[in-house]
């Protein structure tokens, strides 16, 4: 059961969210997830103490309360990775409050994040990615929707766009130029080369789309003319992967992983791939080097079995 937060805590959460957006450039999805994480923590504190309170209650948080909250989260199914994210959100909020109130939040800041192994991306093999695009186009109810689905997935695989970035394109972006200016996570801007195949796929969709594509409106439209949503793209991938017998890891985002991994396998430079993906740090991009090394070892093991 989640307790209703006091007006003071709700106001602090709203102002902190505005700070994340204006100062740190956090995306809307990130702000929403962080706010939910912190609200859950504050609700636990109120329930644990049997009373509500304002932001100043953070100064009274003890080490034992932090441990109790973390144990509660794990008992309710939170993985080590999820708990680490929630703790990061709580620390960020507490630090923001402490800076304004002059409080000591040592107990919160000293809580140790649970260890978790960093999972590697699961890219698709090139032939599987091509089969997904073909299947997605063929399974659509109408030809124009098939062309649309193929165009969106081609942008994910061929240009390394996130689903949100592809769906954020407007009629003003078409016909697609040789280079797209993309605003990604954290408001970071990057230039992405557009392959001829992605340009051709998008033009095939535009020619058949029955809805007017205005400069200010979404480029990719749903059946009734509204903007295409992330869930619809996920459904397209889910249906296609089931037909092809691919694993559940074959998601829309896996096509972006495939873009990076295939580039690296072809001799691409990690720094260049970092720029193309819009990663804030090279560390985020280096996971693809680990994926490539793992793949090479698997190939080696198949080619040179132990006697």
Which residue among the candidates 47, 91, 253, 295 is catalytic per the annotation? 253
Active site residue 76: no
Q: For residue 190, list its beta bridge partners.
A: 182
Query: Three-state secondary structure along 284-306?
Result: HHHHHHHHHHHHHHHHHHHHCCC
Active site residue 295: no
Active site residue 47: no
Output the CA–CA distances (angstroms, integers) from residue 127 to 134, 244, 295, in the order listed. Answer: 11, 11, 15
| DSSP-derived secondary structure letter, 190 | E
Which residue among the candidates 86, 148, 162, 206 is catalytic per the annotation? 162
The whole-angstrom separation of Cα 288 and Cα 121 is: 7
Active site residue 271: no
Active site residue 85: no
Which residue among the candidates 241, 256, 257, 262 is catalytic per the annotation? 256
Which residue among the candidates 86, 148, 257, 279 is catalytic per the annotation? 279
Active site residue 162: yes
Which residue among the candidates 91, 95, 185, 295 is catalytic per the annotation? 185
Using an 8 Å Cβ cutoff, are 110 and 94 in contact? no
Residue 204: helix, strand or coil by DSSP? Answer: helix
Q: What is the dihedral of CA 159, 160, 163, 168, to 10 degrees?
A: -50
| DSSP-derived secondary structure letter, 253 | H
Let me know if 255 is exposed, middle or buried by CB neighbors in 10 A (0-12, 13-18, 19+). Answer: buried
The whole-angstrom separation of Cα 85 and Cα 300 is: 37
| Active-site residue set | 162, 185, 253, 256, 279, 288
């Amino acid at each position: 059961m989640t307790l209703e937060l006091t007006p003071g805590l709700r106001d602090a959460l709203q102002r902190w969210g505005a700070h994340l957006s204006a100062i740190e450039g956090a995306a809307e999805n990130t702000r929403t997830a962080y706010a939910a994480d912190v609200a859950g923590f504050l609700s636990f504190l109120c329930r644990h103490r049997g009373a509500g309170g304002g932001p100043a209650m953070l100064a009274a948080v003890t080490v034992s309360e932090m441990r109790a909250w973390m144990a509660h989260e794990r008992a309710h199914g939170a993985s080590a990775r999820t708990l680490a994210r929630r703790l990061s959100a709580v620390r960020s909020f507490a630090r923001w409050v402490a800076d304004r109130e002059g409080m000591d939040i040592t107990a919160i800041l000293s809580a140790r994040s649970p260890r978790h192994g960093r999972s590697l991306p699961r890219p698709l093999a090139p032939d599987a990615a091509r089969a997904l695009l073909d299947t997605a186009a063929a399974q659509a109810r109408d030809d124009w929707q098939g062309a649309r689905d193929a165009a969106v997935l081609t942008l994910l695989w061929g240009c390394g766009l996130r689903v949100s970035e592809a769906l954020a394109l407007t009629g003003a972006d078409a016909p697609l130029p040789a280079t797209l200016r993309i605003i990604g996570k954290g408001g970071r801007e990057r230039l992405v080369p557009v392959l001829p195949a992605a340009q051709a796929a998008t033009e095939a969709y535009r020619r058949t789309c029955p809805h007017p594509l205005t400069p200010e409106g979404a480029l990719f439209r749903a059946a009734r003319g509204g903007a295409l949503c992330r869930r619809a793209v996920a459904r397209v991938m889910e249906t296609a992967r089931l037909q092809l017998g691919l694993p559940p890891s074959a998601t829309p985002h896996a096509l972006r992983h495939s873009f990076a991994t295939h580039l690296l396998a072809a001799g691409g430079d990690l720094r260049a791939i970092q720029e193309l993906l819009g990663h804030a740090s090279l560390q985020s991009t280096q996971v693809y080097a680990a994926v490539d090394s793992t793949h090479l070892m698997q190939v080696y093991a198949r080619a040179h079995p132990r006697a």
